Amino acid sequence: MRILVIGGAGYIGSHVVKSLLNTGFDVRVYDDLSTGKRINLFKQAEFVEGSLLDMESLKKALDNVDGVVHLAAKKAVGESMAEPEKYANNNLIGAINLLNAMTDKNVKYLVFSSSAAVYGMPQTPQLNESHPLNPINFYGFTKLEMERFMEWYDRLKGIKFVSLRYFNAVGYDEDGDILGLEEKPQNLLPVVMETLFGIRSQMSIFGNDYDTPDGTCIRDYIHVTDLATAHTLALQYLERENTSQILNLGTGTGHSVLEMIQETERIVNQKINYTMAPRRSGDPAKLTASSEKAQSILGWQPKHSDLENIIRSTWHVYQNTYEKNQN
Ligand SMILES: NC(=O)c1ccc[n+]([C@@H]2O[C@H](COP(=O)([O-])OP(=O)(O)OC[C@H]3O[C@@H](n4cnc5c(N)ncnc54)[C@H](O)[C@@H]3O)[C@@H](O)[C@H]2O)c1
């Protein structure tokens, strides 16, 4: 199968490209490089520079394609509340363009990057796919809307999809094949690393009075290589079963913010400069996934998501970037 990976120059997309190439798929990457990086591209995959908002270029990129992995989106929750128009354009109009272009070119399989943000505030500590859907930010709303669009395009146009609701994506390729670092990251581990390497003078822990063992928030951290494998399995599933699915991807095991920082300090044998700050609104105490459905439907199992592996693989990429630059 030839697969178009939209957003394949990004953090998760580049890991998906590697997994697809290793499984023997023919891969074409489509990316506007707005946040993606050339350094993340694999020479074994064809690269087309272009935007989801350019319908003609998008249709051309879909020539002779059997399936699509769509990862291209803006993803900063705070920004989505301040500038919803940016998110409406990119995450919704862009994604609807894709559904229309796929219809036009008769491409039938789509794997979509959704998010735990579709659920909103958790009503249970561990969430399965039938948990109520009540996004509390515009970013999560765009992901939920896209799932609804895909359901309609399945019914009306026969596009079969697997929507993967990622929890917290972390870690880097363990072979060191993917080295692009995100600029101005907002996720915990990159912020820990930036503090470690002096790019930030210090970091904050938002709230240490939650109802958790150490008082800090607990999240479900899933290694990006495990996420990537799920996309490959999802495409194989679509080809085999021709049925749409919505699936959580997480480990089911949570780690607290403090635990992540202290584990990093232990592994790198260095102190991290952090302070306690007040809670942020909209942060639940605990958010973990039940991924039993992905396990039974795709035969997927997280294999790279132990904390040590997550931290070491991230540290190596930061070392490669910052220690090399200093020499
Ligand atoms: N990182 C996480 O923890 C996380 C969690 C849940 C869901 N997601 C979703 O996973 C997907 C990938 O996230 P990521 O962390 O790799 O982000 P990223 O910013 O590294 O990757 C997004 C890629 O899409 C490209 N892109 C953006 N808009 C585009 C457009 N209009 N046309 C063409 N290309 C475009 C960017 O250049 C980039 O390469 C996103 O859809 C995000 O919402 C990420």
Q: Are residues 213 and 124 in the same domain?
A: no
Distance 279 CA to ligand 1 centre (A): 27
Domain with 70 in it: what CATH number? Answer: 3.40.50.720
Distance CA 257, CA 277 (A): 13
Q: Are residues 6 and 154 in the same domain?
A: yes
Does any domain span residue 72?
Answer: yes
Q: Which residues, judged by CB distance below 6 Å to any ligand atom, belong to the binding site of ligand 1?
A: 6-7, 9-13, 31-36, 51-53, 71-73, 75, 90, 94, 113, 115, 166, 168-169, 187
Does any domain span residue 104?
Answer: yes
Average of per-residue pLDDT across 118-129: 94
Does any domain span residue 118?
Answer: yes
**Whose CA is closest to 72, among 14, 149, 134, 120?**
14
Q: Are residues 43 and 59 in the same domain?
A: yes
Q: Looking at the predicted structure, is the pLDDT value of residue 243 above 90?
A: yes
The encoded tokens of residue 15 equal: 């890991």
Tens of pLDDT, residues 173-231:
999 999 999 999 999 999 999 999 999 999 999 999 999 999 999 999 999 999 999 99
Question: What is the chain's length?
Answer: 327
Total structural domains within the chain: 2
Average of per-residue pLDDT across 94-100: 98
Q: Which of 41, 71, 111, 150 to mutate to test the pocket of ligand 1 (most atoms within 8 A of CB)?
A: 71
Q: Are residues 88 and 195 in the same domain?
A: no
Q: Are residues 120 and 258 in the same domain?
A: no
How confident is residue 325, by pLDDT bands cut at 50, 70 and 90?
Answer: low
Q: Are residues 260 and 149 in the same domain?
A: no
How confident is residue 326, by pLDDT bands cut at 50, 70 and 90?
Answer: low
The pLDDT mean for the chain works out to 96
The encoded tokens of residue 129 equal: 């796919």
Q: Are residues 76 and 23 in the same domain?
A: yes
Does any domain span residue 178?
Answer: no
Are 171 and 314 a contacting pair, CB within 8 Å? yes
Average of per-residue pLDDT across 104-120: 98
Does any domain span residue 295?
Answer: no
Domain with 274 in it: what CATH number? Answer: 3.90.25.10
Are 85 and 144 a contacting pair, CB within 8 Å? no
Distance CA 281, CA 265 (A): 28
What phi and psi values does residue 5 have, to the nearest 5 degrees?
Answer: -105, 105
How confident is residue 327, by pLDDT bands cut at 50, 70 and 90?
Answer: very low
Q: Are residues 203 and 117 in the same domain?
A: no
Q: Are residues 123 and 10 in the same domain?
A: yes
Distance CA 122, CA 125 (A): 7
Distance 31 CA to ligand 1 centre (A): 10
What kind and span of H or E run contains 25? none
Does any domain span residue 142?
Answer: yes
How confident is residue 48, by pLDDT bands cut at 50, 70 and 90?
Answer: very high
Please identify every residue annotated as catalytic.
Answer: 139
The range of the structural domain enclosing residue 199 comes to 188-219+252-287+304-326
For the ranges 164-173, 176-185, 234-243, the lowest mean pLDDT is seen at 176-185
Tens of pLDDT, residues 49-88:
999 999 999 999 999 999 999 999 999 999 999 999 999 9
Distance 314 CA to ligand 1 centre (A): 18
Are 6 and 52 a contacting pair, CB within 8 Å? yes
Mark 177-213 as b/e (b = at least 16 C-beta within 10 Å): ebbbbeeebeebbbbbbbbbbeeeeebebebbebebe
Q: Looking at the predicted structure, is the pLDDT value of residue 323 above 90?
A: no
Assign 166 to helix, strand or coil. strand
What's residue 125's pLDDT?
82
Are 174 and 251 a contacting pair, CB within 8 Å? no
Tens of pLDDT, residues 263-318:
999 999 999 999 999 999 889 999 999 999 999 999 999 999 999 999 999 999 99
Q: Are residues 125 and 194 in the same domain?
A: no
Q: Are residues 192 and 239 in the same domain?
A: no
pTM above 0.95, yes or no: yes
Does any domain span residue 177?
Answer: no
Does any domain span residue 161?
Answer: yes
Distance CA 215, CA 265 (A): 19
Q: Are residues 21 and 134 in the same domain?
A: yes
